[in-house]
């Protein structure tokens, strides 16, 4: 049975349910191959209780581990039985790696080391505990920790320890996904049965008659208000025991707390139901404005969903938010990681308590909700349809296609056509038949698909592509004519046609058709199509001018049209420079002059609009859109680098860019950026401060790397010398003791013994606990013993000289203090001095290894 632990007092009176979760922890962490797993869930779900119960009932009674370390970063607790303040602060700021090391030292009984410098006690715990001991560590409430060094330590460093020590395990709890890679064990509310048992047990403990006398149906209705969350159940009983009625608790949980005596909006907000505030506030407030907005959108849709509404799916959210696909995907992922939303059957769901949090906490939610409902209704009326039976059928087929079961998919699609004659099924069938090289059948299926739905652009495109790949270019071109007619001259079909003509080298036909379709698009004011067509045409003509003997007339014509249509001045300049280079190469004077004028004109406009761009830059910075800020700042700097008139704009852009790089701790990039624009940077104190700080950090990083290498060499030297000493003394400790006593250094033995007694390595020889100053002396003293064991005179002479050299070298590392201060002394040296030390220690280590090899010590 495990006895050395610091398990706190139980966070519960009685534990209910969670058998599945307990089994998952055992399978994942104890019996599985991982060293770290995490219990994840919203606040109050019972993560800490589960971790505690697992330690108390599964870890302590077993003999699997020798130590159990419990470390909590929890800063606040929720007291459901308090009359006034329900959310109470219980501790200060978490101290990161040092708090972990100190807690481990306390549990294993080495409190006297706690006051040593962090590097020394950390090294001790790593070598003596994490590397070999059977230890189970619980890190409770990881979401409270904002320390990248700590997360890096418990992943990268612990991963190294765990690769050699299979008995090192970490269990964490967190409300949201962390900056670590672990195996999540997600828990939700209790089962209704377990929740009802817990409610009745607490009601009995506190004599809550309103629960005890109620029917199970009424009590379950109450449990549903808190999602069967354990802390919510405690809240119900706690508030009832203080005299609140079932109706008052309903109101609080619905988001209607009593606002009596509250005058300002801030006072009203403080009257929020503390149970909701405790569960969601800290998770919600770390979100960006964009992420908060999406959460409000989903909450609005959930609250106002009708039976005729489509599922609250990713596609619907794209339509409502107008976010890009990648941005929305990232936002949804963060909301799900923070347990604010869940997904079921392609639909996003928000819990009632989370909904009530948003309603209560944000004053603008009412206006947002009204706008979202209006937007949703317009989408539903105009174009959004719930998945019909064909969609559902095709979804069931796609798994077969993804797993390359194409023959099976083809048969199911054919069977489906017997029940539903639909263009989408024919289209899917055609693609499958094409992949199976059944081209004649695929052609028939494509034809059916486009006849049933002539505006299906994808079907036309895939059909044309199939024919083109088969080398039937004329058939493909004929299909493009029909497709363009049916799809209102879709640009993707037109570009497909132009690329086929390019392959056939029908350049005159391309030019003729481009101009014809440009006229159509101009008439219909289809700017996007015009730009795509002109870019494609310009690219074809540019390649012809570069690689073949073509006159540049058509290239210049297409380029000028494109420049006129582009709206971005930087793109206009880029295109003009391209045109200027071509004009110089073919020596067309009029175009050289024209593009030179264009460039000057566009650059003048850019400088004139720079004030507006700086305002935009600052706005992006304030909205924390940092990636876009960095791009815009670099663009501005590229324009203004040598422009003295706009120096203030340059300084602003550089300052913003350096501030972002500083927040990202990208010190290399800060230094490179500042030095690229040093004429600007040295004019601004903020830029100089960021640059100087980055140089200091880079210098410190280099120093620490050098110190680590030096200390590694020193440790290897110590290990080698210990082996040489013991070899010289025939590996007999008594001879070592006699030698030390003969030199009046008896206190060394006592010192080594005392160190070993405090260590976990009680079986090590005493010399293992000697420091470098001891070893330097021992190496000098054992010289006669060592030489007496060598018969060959030449080897004896070489050994004698090598011993002298090593002892002399060691003088460089020995100070009047003990060797433990050597690391501290290194911190005072500059990089050049540390490089000298590194060379010296490497030289000493090389000589020591050579000596071992010479005398036959392994």
DSSP assignment of 552-574: SHHHHHHHHHHHHH---HHHHHH
User: For residue 30, what is the DSSP state?
Assistant: I
For the beta carbon of residue 594, count every other beta carbon within 10 angstroms: 17
Q: Which residues pair with 601 in a beta bridge?
A: none
Per-range mean pLDDT, top range of 1-15, 269-283, 338-352, 410-424: 410-424
**Do 448 and 426 contact (CB within 8 A), yes or no?**
yes
Whole-model pTM: value is 0.45
Residue 78 has a pLDDT of 45
End-to-end Cα separation, the chain, in angstroms: 40
Q: What percent of the chain has pLDDT over 70?
A: 85
Q: What is the average pLDDT value for the chain, to the nearest integer?
A: 82
Residue 842 has a pLDDT of 92
CA distance linking residue 113 with residue 129, whole number of Å = 14
- Confidence category of residue 338, pLDDT binned at 50, 70, 90: low
Q: Which residues pair with 172 in a beta bridge?
A: 38, 139
Residue 459 has a pLDDT of 95
Residue with tokens 């969670």: 18
What does the pLDDT average to over 549-569? 90
- Confidence category of residue 31, pLDDT binned at 50, 70, 90: confident
274-382: CATH class: mainly alpha
User: For residue 169, what is the DSSP state?
Assistant: E
Reported in sequence order, the residue ranges of 35-167 that DSSP labels E, i.e. its strands, are: 36-40, 67-72, 76-78, 87-89, 135-140
Residue 250 has a pLDDT of 63
| Pairing outcome for strands 342-344 and 347-349 | antiparallel
Q: What percent of the chain has pLDDT over 90?
A: 29
Distances from the Cα of 324 to the Cα of 141, 346, 529, 627, angstroms: 34, 19, 20, 15
CA distance linking residue 99 with residue 116, whole number of Å = 13
Q: Among candidates 284, 287, 268, which has minimal Cα distance to 276?
A: 284
Compare 623 and 774 and report the one with higher pLDDT. 774
- Confidence category of residue 88, pLDDT binned at 50, 70, 90: very low
Please check the confidence at residue 27 and state whether its pLDDT lies above 50. Answer: yes
Residue with tokens 């020591």: 848
For the segment 842-855, what is each residue's pLDDT rounded down to a tens digit?
A: 999 999 999 999 89
CA distance linking residue 135 with residue 166, whole number of Å = 10
Q: Which of 22-26, 286-290, 498-502, 535-539 has the lowest mean pLDDT?
A: 286-290
For the segment 746-767, what is each residue's pLDDT rounded down to a tens digit?
A: 999 888 888 888 776 777 888 8
CA distance linking residue 35 with residue 168, whole number of Å = 6
Q: Which of 111-115, 421-425, 579-583, 684-688 has the lowest mean pLDDT?
A: 111-115
Residue 101 has a pLDDT of 87
Q: What is the secondary structure of 464-526 as a DSSP string?
A: HHHHHHTT-HHHHHHHHHHHHHHTTS-HHHHHHHHHHHHHTT-HHHHHHHHHHHHHHHHHTT-
Residue 691 has a pLDDT of 94
DSSP element (H, E) containing 342: strand 342-344
CA distance linking residue 206 with residue 204, whole number of Å = 5
**Do 642 and 673 contact (CB within 8 A), yes or no?**
no
Name the CATH superfamily for 389-608: Tetratricopeptide repeat domain (1.25.40.10)
- Confidence category of residue 263, pLDDT binned at 50, 70, 90: very low
Q: Which of 202-216, 548-562, 719-733 has the lowest mean pLDDT?
A: 202-216
CA distance linking residue 87 with residue 337, whole number of Å = 24
**Do 75 and 89 contact (CB within 8 A), yes or no?**
yes
Distances from the Cα of 638 to the Cα of 17, 250, 570, 610, angstroms: 63, 61, 11, 12
Please check the confidence at residue 86 and state whether its pLDDT lies above 60. Answer: no
CA distance linking residue 150 with residue 157, whole number of Å = 10
Q: What are phi and psi of 186, to 5 degrees?
A: -85, 135
What does the pLDDT average to over 28-41? 79
Q: 4-186, what's its fold?
A: Rossmann fold (3.40.50)
Residue 328 has a pLDDT of 82
Residue 197: CB partners within 8 Å, gap ≥ 6? 16
CA distance linking residue 46 with residue 175, whole number of Å = 11
Look at the chain and count its residues.
858
Distances from the Cα of 573 to the Cα of 233, 569, 608, 639, 650, angstroms: 66, 6, 15, 12, 20
**Do 273 and 252 contact (CB within 8 A), yes or no?**
yes
Give the residue extent of every domain in the chain: 4-186, 192-244, 274-382, 389-608, 611-683, 701-855
What does the pLDDT average to over 656-684? 90
């Amino acid at each position: 049975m495990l006895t050395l632990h610091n398990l706190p007092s139980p966070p519960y009176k009685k534990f209910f349910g969670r058998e599945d979760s307990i089994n998952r922890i055992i399978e994942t962490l104890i019996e599985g191959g991982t060293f770290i797993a995490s219990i994840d869930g919203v606040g109050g779900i019972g993560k800490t209780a589960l971790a505690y119960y697992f330690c108390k009932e599964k870890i302590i009674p077993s003999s699997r581990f020798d130590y159990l370390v419990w470390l909590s970063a929890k800063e606040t607790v929720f007291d459901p039985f308090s009359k006034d303040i329900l959310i109470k602060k219980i501790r200060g700021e978490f101290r990161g790696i040092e708090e972990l090391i100190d807690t481990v030292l306390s549990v294993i009984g080495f409190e006297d080391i706690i006051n040593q410098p962090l590097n020394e006690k950390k090294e001790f715990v790593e070598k003596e505990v994490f590397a070999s001991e059977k230890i189970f560590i619980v890190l409770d409430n990881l979401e409270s920790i904002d320390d990248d060094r700590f997360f890096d330590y418990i992943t990268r460093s612990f991963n190294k320890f765990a690769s050699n020590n299979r008995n090192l395990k970490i269990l964490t709890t967190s409300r949201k996904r962390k900056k670590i890679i672990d195996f999540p064990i997600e828990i939700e509310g209790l089962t209704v049965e377990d929740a009802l048992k817990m409610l009745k047990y607490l009601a009995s403990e506190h004599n809550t008659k309103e629960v005890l006398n109620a029917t199970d149906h009424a009590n379950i209705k109450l449990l549903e208000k808190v999602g069967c969350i354990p802390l919510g159940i405690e809240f119900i009983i706690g508030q009832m025991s203080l005299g609140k009625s079932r109706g008052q608790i309903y109101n609080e949980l619905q988001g209607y707390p009593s606002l009596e005596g509250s005058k300002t909006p801030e006072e009203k907000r403080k009257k929020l139901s503390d149970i909701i505030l405790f569960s969601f506030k800290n998770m919600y407030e770390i979100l960006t404005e964009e992420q908060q907005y999406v959460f409000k959108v989903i909450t609005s849709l959930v609250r106002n969903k009708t039976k005729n509404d489509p599922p609250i799916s990713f596609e619907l959210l794209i339509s409502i938010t107008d976010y890009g696909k990648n941005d929305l995907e990232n936002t949804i992922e963060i909301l799900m990681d923070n347990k604010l939303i869940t997904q079921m059957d392609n639909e996003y769901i928000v819990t009632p308590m989370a909904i009530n949090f948003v309603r209560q906490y944000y004053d603008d939610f009412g206006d947002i909700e009204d706008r979202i409902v209006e937007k949703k209704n317009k989408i539903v009326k105009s174009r959004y349809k719930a998945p019909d039976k064909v969609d559902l059928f095709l979804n069931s087929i796609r798994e077969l296609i993804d797993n390359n079961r194409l023959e099976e998919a083809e048969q199911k699609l054919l069977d489906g056509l017997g029940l539903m004659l639909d263009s989408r099924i024919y289209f899917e069938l055609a693609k499958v038949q094409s992949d199976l090289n059944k081209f004649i059948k695929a052609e028939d299926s494509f034809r059916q698909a486009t006849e049933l739905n002539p505006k299906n652009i994808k079907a036309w495109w895939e059909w044309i592509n199939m024919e083109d790949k088969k080398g039937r270019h004329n058939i493909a071109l004929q299909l493009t004519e029909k497709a363009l007619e049916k799809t209102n001259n879709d640009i993707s079909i037109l570009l497909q046609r132009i690329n086929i003509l390019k392959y056939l080298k029908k350049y005159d036909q391309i030019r003729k058709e481009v101009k014809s379709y440009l006229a159509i698009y101009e008439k219909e004011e289809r700017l996007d199509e015009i730009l795509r067509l002109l870019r494609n045409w310009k690219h074809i003509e540019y390649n012809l001018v570069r690689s073949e003997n073509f006159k540049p007339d058509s290239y210049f014509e297409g380029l000028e049209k494109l420049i006129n249509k582009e709206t971005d001045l930087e793109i206009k300049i880029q295109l003009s420079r391209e045109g200027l280079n071509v004009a110089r190469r073919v020596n067309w004077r009029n175009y050289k002059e024209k593009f030179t004028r264009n460039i000057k004109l566009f650059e003048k406009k850019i400088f004139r609009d720079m004030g507006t761009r700086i305002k935009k830059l600052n706005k992006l910075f304030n909205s924390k859109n940092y990636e876009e800020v960095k791009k815009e700042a670099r663009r501005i700097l590229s324009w203004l680098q040598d422009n003295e008139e706009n120096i203030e704009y340059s300084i602003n852009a550089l300052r913003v860019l350096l501030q972002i790089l500083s927040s990202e701790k990208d010190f290399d990039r800060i230094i490179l950026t500042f030095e690229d624009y040093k004429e600007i940077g040295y004019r601004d104190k903020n830029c100089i401060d960021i640059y100087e700080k980055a140089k200091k950090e880079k210098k410190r990083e280099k120093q620490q790397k050098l110190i680590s290498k030096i200390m590694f060499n020193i440790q290897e030297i110590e290990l080698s010398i210990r082996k040489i000493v013991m070899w010289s003394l025939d590996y007999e400790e008594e001879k070592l003791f006699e030698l030390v006593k003969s030199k009046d250094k008896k206190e060394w033995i006592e010192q080594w013994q005392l160190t070993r007694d405090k260590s976990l390595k009680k079986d090590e020889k005493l010399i293992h606990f000697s420091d470098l100053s001891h070893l330097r002396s021992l190496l000098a003293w054992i010289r006669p013993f060592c030489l007496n064991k060598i018969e060959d005179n030449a080897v004896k002479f070489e050994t004698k000289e090598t011993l002298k050299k090593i002892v002399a070298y060691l003088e460089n590392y020995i100070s009047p203090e003990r060797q433990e201060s050597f690391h501290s002394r290194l911190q005072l040296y500059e990089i050049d001095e540390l490089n000298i030390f590194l060379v010296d220690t490497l030289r000493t280590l090389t000589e020591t290894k050579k000596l071992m090899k010479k005398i036959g010590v392994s």
